[in-house]
Chain A
Amino acid sequence: MTFTLSEEQTLLKDSARDFCREQAPVTRFRKMRDDKKNGRDPELWAEMAAMGWAGILVPEDFGGAGLGYVGLGLVLEQAGRTLVASPLHSTALVGASALLLGGSDAQKQEWLPKIAAGEITVALAVDESAHHAPAKSKLKVAGGKISGAKKFVADGHIADLLLVVGGDGLYLVKADAPGVTKRELITVDSRGAADIDFDNAPTEKLNGGAKLVEQVLDRAAIGLAAEMLGQAQEAFEITNEYLKTRKQFGQYIGSFQALQHRAAKMFTEIELTRSCILAALDALDRNADDVSEYASLAKARASDMLHVVSNEFVQMHGGIGMTDAHDAGLYMKRARVAEALYGGATYHRDRYATLLGF
């Protein structure tokens, strides 16, 4: 394993950081929300695709850059910093990796170039109740037709192609196929989502069965954890800056030890979690056999860590943190959704214990 970035990865990270700061700062997210776009910013996604990000995982043969998971993770982290609303996670990570792992030659030929070019977006439809429980799927598939109901599909309202999780494998369904009904959800994080019903909708199964489902969910968890790390890092930096500039009782509030210790603990949690996420991304690139362990480690710790950091973002800003004009609320709302998606800390702790054999 290595934590050292290659030159290529460092360049990618730096350009992602600059892009997000300049082209996609939080003000852009805010405008998207205020314009009631519910997560839609297709112009931004086109710009991101033009940077080559939609095809980071896609091999060059299919029009991508083939830069691997560490590379994509670094970009997701930068996007997390400024709350970029885009299908980067669902399409460039989840969609591309599912097709790479489980697609037939024809399926890869059909979809990967479109993903790499940013022409289509993908969404992963997994949960069937209010909590993440992929093992309890009631999805029915017979004669190439799929039936069932999926809840809170992230980016489901904007996706062209759906990856549908069943107990025995992963299915491809075109979003405009007959028998597919979407209900768009207006969500607390302003990113939007959809409840989707399938009633004898035409489908193709990907290769790999239940193993593929696990692989894809692991990737979804790790990628989201990377995005969450970026959010936490930004939230923490803004908070730390406030501690150094806000005065009360004639002192900088950051000179109060009660706050100093909480800040020092957040710093520690962020650093520890960063190591887990980098290790998880690296495990994906190495195709290691303990990817699942790393996925649960990364997602559980990222969820717990971001929970604390996003709450402190509000609390340490005092009253101003409660106002909509301040960004703290935006981070806290996104945090809660990200914490729960693809399994929260409780889910992944349980899974980790099982993987470790106790």
Chain B
Amino acid sequence: MTDVQLEQFRKDTRAWLEENCPASMRSTFTSEDEIVWGGKKAKFANPDSKLWLDRMAERGWTAPTWPKEYGGGGLSKEENLILQSELKRINARQPLYSFGLWMLGPVLLEYANEDQKKRHLPPVIRGEIRWCQGYSEPGAGSDLAGLQTKCEDKGDHWLINGQKIWTSYANYADWCFCLVRTDTSVKHEGISFILIDMTSPGVETRPIKLISGASPFCETFFTDVKVPKENMVGRLNGGWEIAKRLLQYERSNISGFGSGARTDVVDIAKQNVGLDEDGRLDDRDLRARIAEHKMFERAYALTAQRAAEEAKAGGNVSHITSMFKVAGATLNIERCELMVEAAGSRAFGWAGEGYSPDELAVTRGWLRSKGNSIEGGTTEVNLNVVAKRVLGLRDTQ
């Protein structure tokens, strides 16, 4: 595409966004309820957010680079960069948060057959179906390939029995992408990737409470659940490769997640620690550590930008998703710890009066952040991946 065409694309995009992005969608979220996850049970706190989602989905711009034939935007990388920068320019909200967009879609595009793509991709793009991830089991976390959930061939359908844990948002999800065991005699080669309708008889979810309070995490039980034959993605016993690819997408997404708190650590520190006569934070040690953190944050952002440019130039950067996952999780956890320290006793509230919503968000955000180094593969496991896949170090024999 020529520069002239790209410039025209920018002009058109800007004009379209000007006309179609509601004013109330041009600001950062103030509370988690405003985030749109889509699905059949979706609730829209603000009617504008429904409008915004529908308009973006109509153009395929919830999945800008996916092919048009499945409802995607069909944009090139360059066009997508322009779209993203135009969205950023007006501080537009993401119209849709979705495991379907971030994780499932990309692997369906790569591994699914034509029928599966036609059936499952469009509703993801339009935010009509919400997906959850059935990977972890009580006995299979880091050692994911140790999973036991049984999937038997019953001729005209699959029969599934077993338990998943940590299925985020399973209680709101319409469908689940799931790893199941189809051969017990081998480990990695006995796993298949399957799509399960959460309304199927025999599926049950129970919420798990976290240290940060009520949570969207669930245990999911499958008892004699019948799944149609056509719901298996890829070949029988060929699920591990798909599972790993999906994890790459998951890791690159998690690493970009923010703290949830709206206030900046510097503002919190200024408010609660105060300034000395030279206008510096009145705690030199904390000030130095915040500065160090700010540098980490900047280095991370610059590196993400560099990786994006390298990817655009055709370089293969998929192998460093684990590096980003580790760094992103560390960064967020560190920020949350600093916020709690800077806020002092203002961070010790839990509920009720006496604490502002921002302060309570700092406290809850801090507790939630501990999951960043666990979800999507723990920091230890991701360091293993970097050591082996990137640095080429071997396993102990």
B313, A4: Cβ atoms closer than 8 Å? yes
The segment out of B76-84, B151-159, B346-354, B379-387 that lies at the interface is: B379-387
Contact with A along B259-277 (1 / 0, CB 8 A): 0000000100110000000
Is A300 close to B, CB under 8 A? yes
- Set A4, A255, A264, A267: member contacting B395, Cβ < 8 A: A255
The segment out of A147-155, A226-234, A269-277, A321-329 that lies at the interface is: A269-277
B397, A356: Cβ atoms closer than 8 Å? no
A276 to B300, CA, bound (A): 9
The segment out of B224-232, B284-292, B365-373 that lies at the interface is: B284-292
State how many angstroms separate the Cβ of B107 from the closest Cβ of chain A: 25
What residues of B have a CB within 8 angstroms of the CB of A297 in the complex?
295, 298-299
Is B23 close to A, CB under 8 A? no
The segment out of A21-29, A119-127, A192-200, A344-352 that lies at the interface is: A344-352
A256, B290: Cβ atoms closer than 8 Å? no
A261, B391: Cβ atoms closer than 8 Å? no
What residues of B have a CB within 8 angstroms of the CB of A300 in the complex?
292, 295
What residues of A have a CB within 8 angstroms of the CB of B326 in the complex?
264-265, 268
- Interface residues in A124-161 (C-beta closer than 8 Å to B): none
Is A20 close to B, CB under 8 A? no
What residues of A have a CB within 8 angstroms of the CB of B395 in the complex?
255
A267 with B299, Cβ < 8 A, contacts A254-B393, A353-B288, A358-B266 known: no
B295, A352: Cβ atoms closer than 8 Å? yes
Is B51 close to A, CB under 8 A? no
What residues of B have a CB within 8 angstroms of the CB of A286 in the complex?
none
What residues of B have a CB within 8 angstroms of the CB of A2 in the complex?
309
What residues of B have a CB within 8 angstroms of the CB of A268 in the complex?
323, 326-327, 386
| A contact residues, range | 35 or more
A271, B295: Cβ atoms closer than 8 Å? no
B383, A264: Cβ atoms closer than 8 Å? yes
What residues of B have a CB within 8 angstroms of the CB of A272 in the complex?
296, 299-300, 302-303, 327
- Set B327, B393, B394, B397: member contacting A263, Cβ < 8 A: B393
A243 with B303, Cβ < 8 A, contacts A257-B384, A261-B383 known: no
A67 to B225, CA, bound (A): 67
Closest partner residue, chain B, to A249 (CB atom) = B396
Is A354 close to B, CB under 8 A? yes
Instruction: State the interface size on chain B (CB cutoff 8 A).
Output: 41
Is A88 close to B, CB under 8 A? no
B386, A267: Cβ atoms closer than 8 Å? yes
State how many angstroms separate the Cβ of A341 from the closest Cβ of chain B: 19
What residues of B have a CB within 8 angstroms of the CB of A273 in the complex?
299
Is B390 close to A, CB under 8 A? yes
- Set B280, B309, B394: member contacting A252, Cβ < 8 A: B394
- Set B290, B292, B387: member contacting A264, Cβ < 8 A: B387
A261 with B291, Cβ < 8 A, contacts A244-B393, A356-B266 known: no
What residues of A have a CB within 8 angstroms of the CB of B306 in the complex?
3, 274-275, 278
B396, A350: Cβ atoms closer than 8 Å? no
Is B392 close to A, CB under 8 A? yes
- Set A260, A265, A275: member contacting B305, Cβ < 8 A: A275
What residues of A have a CB within 8 angstroms of the CB of B388 in the complex?
260
State how many angstroms separate the Cβ of B84 from the closest Cβ of chain A: 16
A260, B280: Cβ atoms closer than 8 Å? no
A244, B392: Cβ atoms closer than 8 Å? yes
- Interface residues in A65-117 (C-beta closer than 8 Å to B): none
Q: Counting chain A CB atoms within 10 Å of each CB, which of B291, B298, B300, B327 scores highest?
A: B291
- Set A243, A260, A357: member contacting B383, Cβ < 8 A: A260
- Interface residues in B299-340 (C-beta closer than 8 Å to A): 299-300, 302-303, 305-306, 309-310, 313, 320, 323, 326-327
What residues of B have a CB within 8 angstroms of the CB of A265 in the complex?
326, 383
- Set B291, B313, B320, B393: member contacting A350, Cβ < 8 A: B291
A358, B302: Cβ atoms closer than 8 Å? no
A260, B387: Cβ atoms closer than 8 Å? yes
State how many angstroms separate the Cβ of B322 from the closest Cβ of chain A: 8
- Set A252, A255, A301, A357: member contacting B295, Cβ < 8 A: A301
A252 to B391, CA, bound (A): 14
A263 to B390, CA, bound (A): 11
Is B50 close to A, CB under 8 A? no
What residues of A have a CB within 8 angstroms of the CB of B320 in the complex?
271
Is B120 close to A, CB under 8 A? no
State how many angstroms separate the Cβ of A61 from the closest Cβ of chain B: 32
Is A311 close to B, CB under 8 A? no
Is A48 close to B, CB under 8 A? no
A349, B397: Cβ atoms closer than 8 Å? no
What residues of A have a CB within 8 angstroms of the CB of B287 in the complex?
350, 353, 358
Closest partner residue, chain B, to A243 (CB atom) = B393
- Interface residues in A301-321 (C-beta closer than 8 Å to B): 301
B391, A267: Cβ atoms closer than 8 Å? yes
A255 to B394, CA, bound (A): 5
Is B294 close to A, CB under 8 A? yes
A240 to B391, CA, bound (A): 7
A264 with B386, Cβ < 8 A, contacts A2-B309, A352-B294, A358-B287 known: yes
- Interface residues in B39-87 (C-beta closer than 8 Å to A): none
What residues of B have a CB within 8 angstroms of the CB of A354 in the complex?
280
What residues of B have a CB within 8 angstroms of the CB of A263 in the complex?
387, 391, 393
List 10 contacting pairs A-B, 8 Å CB cutoff, sorted by A: A243-B391, A244-B394, A257-B387, A264-B323, A264-B386, A272-B303, A278-B302, A352-B295, A356-B291, A358-B270
Measured CB to CB, the residues of B under 8 A from A are 266, 269-270, 280-281, 287-288, 290-292, 294-296, 298-300, 302-303, 305-306, 309-310, 313, 320, 323, 326-327, 380, 383-384, 386-388, 390-397
Instruction: Rank and list the top 7 A-B pairs by shortest CB-CB distance, nearest first.
Output: A260-B387, A264-B386, A275-B302, A353-B291, A254-B393, A272-B299, A275-B303
Measured CB to CB, the residues of A under 8 A from B are 1-4, 240, 243-244, 250-252, 254-257, 260-261, 263-265, 267-268, 271-276, 278-279, 297, 300-301, 346, 349-350, 352-354, 356-358
Given A244-B393, A263-B391, A353-B280, 4 additional A-B pairs, CB 8 A: A243-B391, A244-B392, A251-B397, A260-B388
